[in-house]
Amino acid sequence: MIEIHELTKRYGPTTAVSDLTFAVRPGTVTGFLGPNGAGKSTTMRMILGLDEPTSGSVTVNGRAPRAHAAPLHEVGGMLDPRAVHPSRSAYHHLLALAQTTGIRRSRVDEVIDAVGLRSVAGRPAGKFSLGMAQRLGIAAALLGDPATVVLDEPVNGLDVEGIRWMRGMLTELAAQGKTVFVSSHLMSEIAQTATRLIVIGKGRLIADTSVADFIASAAPASVWVRSSDQRALATLLQSPDVTVSFADDGALVVSGLLAERIGAIAAAAGIAVAELSTVETSLEDAFVDLTKDAVEYRAASLEEEK
Amino acid sequence: MSTLQVTQARVMKSEWTKLRTQPGALWSLLSAVILVVAFGILYSLLRVARPPHGAAAAASFDPTSVSLAGVQLAQVAAGVLGVLLITSEYATGLIRTTLAAVPRRLPTLWGKAAVMTGAVVAVSVPAAVAVFLAGQAILGRQHLSVSFGEPGVARAVIGGALYLAVAALLGLALGALLRSTAGGIAALFGLLFAVPILVGFLPGSLADEIGKYLPGTAGLAVTTVHPDPATSLGPWTGFGVFCAYALVLLAAAAVRMRRGDA
C-alpha cells in the first residue's frame, strides 16, 4: 500500500511534482502513466525514501519510507536497471544488497532463478544486455520479498519475449497480494497488465481511475461509412447526439451511433452501403488526448504553423 | 539472529562484499602496497649508494623514514581507493539501490569507512614492516641501519601504515562530499600536495609554522623517528591533527549524505 498526500517536490525553481494525492492498493497492478518529464521517476524516488518531499507526505505500508527497520522487506524498487557496478557479478550485486538486511544467502539464489539469470549470475553485471539488466533489477526488487514493488519503466527496451515475461511476473506479484506500481510513458504497455491507472502530467494528477473506465471515457468509437449517396445519408443520420463529418476521401465519419443502426437507417432510405467499419479509439490516442495540455516538450505541429 | 533488519554489522558485511568484488578498489590497494615496498627499497638503495657526509648529515639521517619513503607515494593510491569506494556508486547510480536498502544512510558511510580502514591496515602494516626490514638490510651494508626495537622506530613503522589508512578515509570523505571521482581525486591532490606548495611561498618562519599543521606534513610526523620541532609537530600530535582533518571532512560528508536527496 502506497499513500501519497499533497506531495510536492521542487528542485530549485523547477517544480517536478505538484500537490499529488493518490493511493496504490495491494493485490492489483497499478500503472503510473505520464509523458516523459511528468514527474514519475521523482515520485518513485520519494516512495523509495531517496528524495525528500518539499512538502506533503508519502507512506509505504503505513510508514514513512525511511522509517522502516527492513526497507527491502517493505518496498522493493527498480529505478535504473543500469545502476550496477559494471565489473561486479550479478550474484555479488544481489548478495551485498541482501546482506544489509540479513536476508539469507539462499534467497539470493531463489530470486536469481525466479528471473531466469542462473546461467549468467557469475558474469559481470556491466556486460548484461538491457533485458538481462531489467531482470537483475527485478531480482533486486524482489530480494526482500517486499509487500510493495515499485518499478520505473520495467518494460522499456525489452523484446517481445521479455515483455511477455515481465507482464506475467507483474500479474503474479499482484496475485500474491502485493502492491505493484509500475510506471510507463506508453499506454499500450500498461493497458494489458494494469487494472488501475494513475495518470500524471507536468507533475500534476490527471486521472486516478481503472483501466476499463479510462478506455470507456476516452473519445468514443466512430464509424466510417461509404454509400451510394453520402450527402443524403449524412442528413438522415444528423441528430443532437450524433456528429457526422466528411473525411478527406469522402467517407462519412459518424460518432454516437452504432454501425448496425447506421446500416438500418441506410437500408430504410434505400441507400446502398459499400463500407461500414467501426474504428476504436486507440489507447495511445486517448492517453495523448488526456495529457496533451501537460506535455512538457512537444514537436510543433506543421498545421499550427500555417 | 534471523529477523530482517538493517544493522551496522550487516551493512559492514555488505560493504566488505562490495570491496572484495570491486576490481578498481583492489587495484588501488595493491598499488599502495607495491608503492610502499618498491619505492622504499629503491630509496634505500639510493641512500646507501650516496651515504650522508659529515657529522651533521649523519646525525640527521633517519634510516627508518628512508625505508618508509614509499608511504608518501602510496598515500595517493590509498586516497584514490577511498574516493573510488563511494564515487563509483554515485557514477553508476548504484548509490540509490544502496540507500533505498539503508535509508538511514549513515551506516553505509560508516560501513565503508570501517571496512576500508580494516583492509588498508591489514595490508599496509605487513608492507611497512617488510619494507622496513628490507630497507635496513640494504642500509646495513654501510652500517646505517637501525633495529625495530630502538625507541620510536616501531611507532614510525606502524604509524606509516596507519597514515595510509587515514589518507584513505580522507579520500572517502572527499568522494562522499563531491560525489565525483575526478573531483574527489583533484581535491585529495590539492589537500595533500597543492596546499603545501602554496604555503611554501610564505616567508620562511611563517611557512614552517603553518606548514606543520597541514594534513600531509602533520600526518607524516609519525613516520619520523626524531621529528624536528621547527618544522614538524610531535609524532602523535601530528598524526592526531591529520586524523582531525579526516574526521571533520567525514562529519561534513555525513551531514551531506544524511540530509536531502540521495
- Three-state secondary structure call for residue B232: coil
Q: Which residues of A touch B7 (CB under 8 A)?
A: 102
Query: Sorting pLDDT into bands at 50, 70 and 90, what band is A158?
Result: confident
pLDDT reading at A31 higher than 50:
yes
pLDDT given at position A294: 62
Is residue A56 located within the same domain as residue A175?
A: yes
Q: Does residue A301 belong to any structural domain of this protein?
A: no
In a domain, A141, yes or no: yes
Say which CATH number the domain at A263 has. 3.30.70
Mean pLDDT of A42-52: 96
| CA distance to partner chain B, nearest, from residue A88 (Å) | 6
The pLDDT tens digits for A64-122 are 999 999 999 999 999 999 999 999 999 999 999 999 999 999 999 999 999 999 999 99
Residue A298: per-residue pLDDT:
54
Is the CB of B103 less than 8 angstroms away from the CB of A66? yes
Please give the pLDDT value at position B241: 97
Please give the Cα distance from A294 to A186 (Å, whole number): 15
Q: In this structure, is residue A168 part of a structural domain?
A: yes
| Cα distance between residue A182 and residue A133, in whole Å | 17
CB contact under 8 A, B17 and A95: yes
Query: For residue A301, what is the DSSP state?
Result: P
Query: Is A26 inside any structural domain?
Result: yes
Element (H, E) at A247: none
Q: What is the DSSP string of A196-244?
A: EEEEEETTEEEEEEEHHHHHHHSSPPEEEEEES-HHHHHHHH-BTTBEE
Q: Are residues A102 and A226 in the same domain?
A: no
CB atoms within 10 A of CB B87: 25
Q: Residue B168 belongs to what H/E stretch? A: helix B153-178
Which three three-digit cell numbers place residue A231? 450527402
Give the residue numbers spanning the domain of A126: 2-217
- B142 shares contact with chain A (CB less than 8 Å): no
B96 interaction partners in chain A (CB closer than 8 Å):
45, 48, 50, 79-80, 83
Residue in B93, B101, B262 closest to A80 by CB: B93
Contact with chain B for residue A65, Cβ under 8 A: yes
In a domain, residue A56? The reply is yes
CA A190 to chain centre: 4
What is the CATH classification number for the domain harbouring A197? Answer: 3.40.50.300
CB neighbours of B17 closer than 8 A, spacing ≥ 6?
A: A92, A95, A96, A99
Longest dimension (CA), chain A: 79
Of B14, B23, B89, the CB nearest to A100: B14
> In terms of domains, do A250 and A140 share one?
no
Describe the crossing of helices A130-142 and A105-114 by its angle, rounded to 10 degrees. Answer: 140
- For B103, the closest of A65, A97, A144 (CB atoms) is A65
Q: Indicate yes or no: CB of B103 within 8 angstroms of CB of A99.
A: no
Residue A220 pLDDT = 67
User: How much is the average pLDDT of A158-170?
Assistant: 90
**Does residue A298 lie in a domain region?**
no
For A174-204, the pLDDT digits (tens) are 999 999 999 988 877 788 889 999 999 889 9
Alpha carbons B75 and B185: distance in angstroms, whole number: 12
Residues A230 and A191 in one domain: no
A50 contacts B6? CB cut-off 8 A: no
More confident residue, A40 or A191: A40
Provide the pLDDT confidence category of residue A258 given band limits of 50, 70 and 90: confident
| Chain B interface mutation, best of A85, A87, A111, A128, highest count of B Cβ atoms under 10 Å | A85
When pLDDT is cut at 50, 70 and 90, the band that residue A305 belongs to is very low
What is the nearest CA distance from B108 to chain A, expressed in angstroms? 9
Write down which residue in A217, A248, A263 finishes a domain: A217
**Final residue before a domain boundary, out of A217, A237, A254:** A217
Same domain, A129 and A272: no
Residues A210 and A230 in one domain: no
Distance CA B252, CA B250 (A): 5
Looking at residue B29, its pLDDT comes to 97
Return all residues near B74 (Cβ < 8 A) that are at least 6 apart.
B31, B32, B33, B35, B36, B39, B124, B164
- Residue A124 and residue A13 share a domain: yes
Count of domains in chain A? 2
Interface touch A96/B11, C-beta < 8 Å: no
- Percent of chain A beyond pLDDT 90? 64
| Domain assignment present for A37 | yes
Residues A166 and A232 occupy one common structural domain: no
Residue B187: how many other CB atoms lie within 10 Å? 22
Closest approach of A56 to chain B, Cα-based (Å): 15
Is A285 part of any domain?
no
Going B261 to A297 to A4 to B99, the CA torsion angle's sign is negative
Question: Grid coordinates standing for A15?
Answer: 517544480
Q: Which of A217, A240, A269 is the last residue of a domain?
A: A217
What residues form DSSP beta bridges with A205? A200
Q: What confidence tier does A247 reach under pLDDT thresholds 50, 70, 90?
A: confident
Are A56 and A33 in a shared domain?
yes
pLDDT tens for the 262 residues of chain B, in order: 468 999 999 999 999 999 999 999 999 999 999 999 999 999 999 999 998 888 888 888 999 999 999 999 999 999 999 999 999 999 999 999 999 999 999 999 999 999 999 999 999 999 999 999 999 999 999 999 999 999 999 999 999 999 999 999 999 999 999 999 999 999 999 999 999 999 989 988 889 899 999 999 999 999 999 888 888 999 999 999 999 999 999 999 999 999 878 8
Give residue B228's pLDDT: 87
Q: Does A122 touch chain B (CB under 8 A)?
A: no
**pLDDT class for A296, splitting at 50, 70, 90?**
low
Question: A255: pLDDT confidence band, cut at 50, 70 and 90?
Answer: confident
Q: How far is it, in rounded angstroms, from Cα B68 to Cα A95?
A: 39
State whether A49 and B100 contact (CB < 8 Å): yes
Q: Which residue of A has its CA nearest to B11?
A: A100
* B155 sits in which H/E element: helix B153-178
Residue A282 confidence class, pLDDT cut points 50, 70, 90: low
Residues A149 and A75 sit within 8 Å (Cβ to Cβ): yes
Taking the CA of residue B258 and the nearest CA in chain A, the distance in Å comes to 10
Do A204 and A57 reside in the same domain of the chain? yes
- The overall pTM is greater than 0.90: no
Chain A residues within an 8 Å CB radius of B260: 52
Q: Please say whether the beta carbons of B81 and A81 come within 8 A.
A: no
% residues pLDDT > 70 (chain A): 93
Residues A22 and A159 in one domain: yes
Own/partner contacts of A115-119, CB < 8 Å, gap of 24 or more, are A115/A139, A115/A142, A115/A169, A116/A165, A117/A90
Full DSSP string of B73-130:
HHHHHHHHHHHHHHHHHHHHSHHHHHHHHSTT-HHHHHHHHHHHHHHHHHHHHHHHHH
Whole-number Å distance between alpha carbons of B73 and B75: 5
A125 and A243 co-located in one domain? no
Q: Is B139 helix (H, G, I), strand (E, B) or coil?
A: helix
Asked if A100 lies within 8 A of B11 by C-beta distance, the reply is yes
CB neighbour list of residue A304: distance below 8 Å, 6 or more residues apart: none
| Residues of chain A contacting B23 with CB distance shorter than 8 Å | 87
**Residues in chain B, overall count:** 262
Beta-carbon contacts of residue B138 (< 8 Å; ≥ 6 apart): B41, B44, B45, B48, B67
Asked if residue A7 lies in contact with residue A53, where contact means CB atoms within 8 angstroms, the answer is yes
